[in-house]
Amino acid sequence: MKLENLPTTADAYIWSEEFVKLIQSNPAIASDKEVMQSWFANAIMSGYDLARKEQIQQEVITQSVDKILKIEAKIEAILLGINIIRKYEIKASIEAEHEIIFVGNYEQTYSHMSEEERLAMNRWGWFEKYEAWAINV
């Protein structure tokens, strides 16, 4: 392995193998305290840096999965709401403005919904706006 690639591994065998090669090519540095200190500090920090990089990657993955799950839940809320609205207004219009989706006529459908359906619509984030059902996206 090339010396410049050493920081990409935390394998003690590779670090010690490269150290022996370095000493064999330049025996005088074996007694140089600063070289020894630098070598082992780099070996230790390499392991730390790799572990931190892995931790950051895992955090990014976790955050991405959380975002995907939130988006999936929002899509489900939208589709379930549209399904209930269209149960009572078959040709309910669907429009979007900025970050809000508008569906059907609120009064026409609300009065026909069961209490359970009304509670579900509320739980999913649906509300009345401009005489239509609305949900933020």
What is the rounded distance in angstroms from the CA atom of residue 103 to the CA atom of residue 86? 9
H or E element, residue 103: strand 100-103
Residue range 78-88: average pLDDT? 95
Which of 6-15, 63-72, 102-111 is predicted with the least confidence, judged by mean pLDDT? Answer: 6-15
Confidence at 1, pLDDT banded by 50, 70, 90: low
Supply the mean pLDDT for the chain: 89
Look-up: residue for tokens 């410049």?
4
Checking if the pLDDT of 14 tops 90, the result is no
Q: H or E stretch including 102?
A: strand 100-103
| 131 secondary structure, DSSP code | T
Is the model more confident about 45 or about 94?
94
Cross-strand bridge partners of residue 77: none
User: According to DSSP H, which parts of 1-133 are helical?
Assistant: 12-25, 33-88, 106-110, 115-124
Closest CA relative to residue 43, chosen from 26, 60, 65, 19: 19
Domain locations in the chain? 3-64, 72-136
Cα Rg of the chain (Å, integer): 31
pLDDT tens-digit series, residues 35-80? 888 878 888 888 888 889 899 999 999 999 999 999 999 999 999 9
**Both structure tokens of 20:** 């022996």
Averaged pLDDT for residues 25-37 = 82
CB 126 within 8 A of CB 135: yes
